[in-house]
Amino acid sequence: MTLGTKGVVYPYPLPLHTMQQDAKKKTLHALKRLDGLSAKLHAMVEVDAYCPQVLEIALAMQGQLKYIQGTVLESHLQTCAIKKLASKEKNAFIAELIKIIGLSTR
């Protein structure tokens, strides 16, 4: 186990691999869209906008989050997973992925 930044404990040694550049670019763009949607949603709630319009923006935000999750997971599987699955940390790595994917179903 390795202690990472902010007290996060990883079940395998650091450093971690970096995200694929294309995935990083797509994720950053999606985060900008998410920021814009969040600001719009906040403003709509402040002025008591029509509920279906508020829900539409909230669902658009949910779509952006799902897109980010998929993009990051794909990059992770293309980079970190290949090496981790071939290493002695294989079981810890699989357990970590199962835990993370379990969080996405809540």
DSSP reduced 3-state for 1: coil
Largest CA distance in the chain: 56
Measured in degrees and rounded to the nearest 5, phi and psi for residue 2 equal -125, 135
Tokens found for residue 81: 């997973």
Locate the domains of the chain by residue range: 2-103
Tens-level pLDDT at each residue, the chain (106 residues) = 555 555 666 665 555 567 899 999 999 999 999 999 999 999 999 999 999 999 999 999 999 999 999 999 999 988 888 888 888 989 988 988 888 888 776 6
Domain 2-103: assigned CATH number:
1.20.58.1000
